[in-house]
Amino acid sequence: MNIVVIYGSNRSDRQGIKAARFIINKLSERGHNVELIDSKEYKLPFLDKMHKEYEAGKAPEMMEKAHKLLKNADGFVIVSGEYNHSIPAALKNILDHFQSEYYFKPSATLSYSAGPFGGLRVAVHLRAVLSELGMSSIPTIFPVSAVQNAFDYDGNAIDKNYDSRVVRFIEEFEWYLTALKNQRKAGIPY
């Protein structure tokens, strides 16, 4: 499957990149083609025009690149920190630039925080946004507490529990990836 991991934090000391690399490694090991859209690399402007508001092919280069990846994706993993109990602006800014690229595809949320609660509050907020964007959210959330200590910068688990916990999360996501891909082949309502 083609999977796009979306991560938004522009902080110089950001920790969530470790979690993004962890899930990219795990999905790649299972044979998926995984791409990362990272706010720091893509540097999308603070929302002016959505991608669809540009003439075809005239959007800024990195917005066009993100559009192509999202359009070709079979599903998305949203890697989200918790800022004041909600969604980091840099992540929401990426999400808001696109729309139909997400439709009829599943999303899985990996939430994290520096503290013990693993960003569960942002995961609940995200669900409302992800449904509005048409990327159905799978039931399981993958919360990571004390993210700074959970993985190294290459995305290897320091806390080995994450290696076993992630299997069920990915298997569930794969089920939805397959189910919705088959159904998209049969046709979409709009």
The span from the CA of 176 to the CA of 151, in Å, is 27
Q: Is 82 in the site for ligand FMN (CB under 6 A)?
A: yes
Binding mask 84-103 for ligand FMN (x = CB under 6 A): xx------------------
Nearer to ligand FMN, 20 or 133 (CB): 20
Count of residues interacting with ligand FMN (CB under 6 A): 15
- DSSP string of 89-101, one letter each residue: HHHHHHHHT-SGG
Given 1, 4, 5, 16, the residue binding ligand FMN (CB under 6 A): 16
Nearer to ligand FMN, 30 or 85 (CB): 85
Given 9, 39, 136, 137, the residue binding ligand FMN (CB under 6 A): 9
Query: Encoding tokens for residue 166?
Result: 């992630």
Query: Encoding tokens for residue 176?
Result: 């939805």
Nearer to ligand FMN, 45 or 115 (CB): 115
Report in angstroms how near the CB of residue 9 gets to ligand FMN at its nearest.
Answer: 3
Per CB under 6 A, which of residues 101..120 are in contact with ligand FMN?
A: 113-115, 117
3-state SS string for 3-65:
EEEEECCCCCCCCHHHHHHHHHHHHHHCCCEEEEEEHHHHCCCCCCCCHHHCCCCCCCHHHHH
The span from the CA of 1 to the CA of 76, in Å, is 10
DSSP tag of 157: B
Report in angstroms how near the CB of residue 130 gets to ligand FMN at its nearest.
Answer: 19
Binding mask 156-185 for ligand FMN (x = CB under 6 A): ------------------------------
Locate the DSSP E strands across 53-181: 75-81, 105-112, 135-144
| Residue 37: partners with Cβ closer than 8 Å, 6 or more residues away | 4, 5, 6, 7, 66, 69, 70, 94
Nearer to ligand FMN, 100 or 149 (CB): 149
Binding site for ligand FMN (CB under 6 A): 9, 11, 14-16, 81-85, 113-115, 117, 147
